[in-house]
């Protein structure tokens, strides 16, 4: 987990930004654009990419063959971002994403990683005991399903395309998007159809 | 203290370039991760997890060519290297786990050697 900001941190950040500007490495406009892009990024983008893949086979092919191009097609600027790879769950195989070395995460389409994703506990255990980790999340995989842990060690960022759950037949894109959570997009959870009593 | 996320090339650098037509390790090749520990020799930055050193896996595909993070981390001009997606059985790594479970990891070519049949049998 990251340490709390020290009192001198803001001053140090200002000095760094000033130096980068003076040396012509960074402009105010670039900084503002990147901040806006970072603020816009949220897991709803990834969720919509998944919902669309459940509805449109052609989009699904694009998503699986070139995640970055799919993100661009969603209006996400991938310039300077690491390439996005998308991992397709099947009835036989579930994907779980971790970065054991640091905290690589598909920020462009999921936003900031949650704190647990960066914790030593998750990073150490997901790769060694993925079934134990999933059980603690309350995620039960169907009998016979194998797990493929994807350790995000280098230059790609990985997102999961989960299975479309039964009970969602006939749903439109917005409704499908609403059940794809951030946690499902890295594989610690599965998309859940709300029970009828819960649906208001 | 958390390490910074990734060590990709600078923002102005394209993240990858077209892969060579014939990769040294085509999909399906059995490869062994070098059993090397540069961290014992001095300061270094390595993107090959310790739990895979010396382990044998199967190349799934070439992901592209990327600036070598081991050089990039020290602010030096970093040549691009082939980066592969390599699949390992999970169970033999930890001597525990569910048969059939796997781990899929990005590994640079200079960390890979062709797997020897004798080593595979061990």
Q: What ipTM is given for this predicted complex? A: 0.88
Mean pLDDT, residues B38-59 taken together:
96
Domain assignment present for A23: yes
Could you give the CA distance from residue A26 to residue A176 in angstroms, rounded to a whole number? 40
Assess whether A29 and A97 both reside in one domain.
Answer: no
Could you give the CA distance from residue A32 to residue A61 in angstroms, rounded to a whole number? 34
For A29, the domain range is: 10-38
Q: How many domains does chain B have?
A: 1
A16 neighbourhood in chain B, CB within 8 Å: none
Q: How many domains does chain A have?
A: 2
A126: nearest CA in chain B?
A: B103
Assess whether A79 and A165 both reside in one domain.
Answer: yes
CA A77, A79, A81, A86 torsion: positive or negative? positive
Beta-bridge mates of residue B84: B62, B107
Which residues of A does the annotation mark as catalytic? Answer: 99, 102-104
In the predicted model, is pLDDT for residue B20 greater than 80? no
* Residue B79 distance to chain A (closest CA, Å): 14
In the predicted model, is pLDDT for residue A88 greater than 50? yes
B17 burial via Cβ count (<10 Å: 0-12, 13-18, 19+) = exposed
Assess whether A69 and A158 both reside in one domain.
Answer: yes
Mean pLDDT, residues B39-48 taken together:
96
Q: How confident is the model at residue B60 (pLDDT cuts 50, 70, 90)?
A: very high
For B98, the domain range is: 31-121
Q: Is B104 within 8 Å of A83 when comparing Cβ atoms? A: no
**A100-118 tens-digit pLDDT:** 999 999 999 999 999 999 9
In the predicted model, is pLDDT for residue A33 greater than 70? yes
Assess whether A48 and A141 both reside in one domain.
Answer: yes
In the predicted model, is pLDDT for residue B107 greater than 90? yes
Q: What is the DSSP letter of B69?
A: H
Mean pLDDT, residues B106-120 taken together:
85
Provide the mean pLDDT of chain A: 93
Q: Is B12 within 8 Å of A129 when comparing Cβ atoms? A: no
Q: How many CB pairs under 8 A join A and B?
A: 103
Domain assignment present for A196: no
**A136-157 tens-digit pLDDT:** 999 999 989 999 999 999 999 9
Domain assignment present for B4: no
Which CATH number covers residue B43?
A: 2.30.30.50
Mean pLDDT, residues A40-59 taken together:
97
Assess whether A62 and A121 both reside in one domain.
Answer: yes
Could you give the CA distance from residue B8 to residue A79 in angstroms, rounded to a whole number? 13
**What pLDDT shows up at residue B9?**
40
Q: How confident is the model at residue B19 (pLDDT cuts 50, 70, 90)?
A: low
Which CATH number covers residue A174?
A: 3.90.330.10
In the predicted model, is pLDDT for residue B4 greater than 60? no
Q: How confident is the model at residue A192 (pLDDT cuts 50, 70, 90)?
A: very high
Assess whether A113 and A17 both reside in one domain.
Answer: no
Q: Is B15 within 8 Å of A3 when comparing Cβ atoms? A: no
Question: A 113-152 residues with CB below 8 A of B?
Answer: 118, 127-131, 146-152
- HSE-CB at B107 with a 13 A cutoff on CA atoms is 29
Q: Structure tokens of A67?
A: 């995640």
**What pLDDT shows up at residue A7?**
81
Assess whether A175 and A146 both reside in one domain.
Answer: yes
Of A2-6, A53-57, A96-100, B1-5, which range is least confident? Answer: B1-5
**What pLDDT shows up at residue A198?**
53
């Amino acid at each position: 987990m990251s340490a709390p900001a020290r009192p001198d941190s803001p001053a140090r950040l200002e000095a760094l930004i000033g130096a980068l500007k003076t040396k012509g490495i960074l402009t105010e406009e670039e900084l503002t654009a990147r901040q806006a892009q970072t603020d816009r990024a949220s897991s709803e983008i990834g969720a919509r990419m998944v919902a669309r893949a459940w509805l449109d086979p052609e989009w699904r092919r694009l998503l699986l063959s070139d995640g970055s191009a799919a993100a661009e097609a969603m209006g996400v600027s991938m310039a300077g971002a690491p390439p996005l790879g998308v991992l397709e769950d099947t009835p036989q195989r579930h994907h779980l994403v971790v970065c054991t070395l640091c905290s690589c995460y598909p920020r462009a389409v999921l936003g900031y990683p949650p704190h647990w994703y960066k914790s030593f506990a998750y990073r150490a255990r997901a790769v060694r005991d993925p079934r134990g980790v999933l059980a603690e999340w309350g995620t039960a995989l169907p009998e016979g399903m194998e797990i493929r842990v994807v350790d995000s060690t280098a230059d790609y960022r990985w997102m999961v395309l989960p299975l479309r759950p039964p009970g969602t037949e006939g749903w439109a894109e917005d409704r499908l998007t609403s059940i794809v959570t951030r946690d499902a997009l890295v594989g610690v959870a599965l998309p859940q159809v709300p029970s009828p009593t819960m649906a208001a | 203290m958390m390490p910074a996320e990734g060590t990709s090339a600078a923002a102005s650098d394209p993240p990858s370039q077209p892969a060579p037509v014939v990769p040294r390790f085509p999909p399906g090749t059995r490869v062994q991760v070098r059993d090397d520990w540069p961290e014992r020799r001095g300061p270094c930055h390595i993107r090959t997890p310790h739990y895979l050193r010396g382990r044998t896996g199967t190349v799934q595909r070439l992901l592209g060519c990327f600036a070598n993070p081991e050089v990039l981390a020290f602010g030096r001009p970093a040549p691009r290297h082939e980066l592969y997606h390599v699949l390992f059985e999970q169970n033999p790594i930890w001597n525990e786990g569910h048969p059939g479970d796997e781990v899929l990891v990005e590994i640079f070519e200079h960390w890979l050697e062709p797997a020897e049949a004798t080593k595979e049998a061990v």
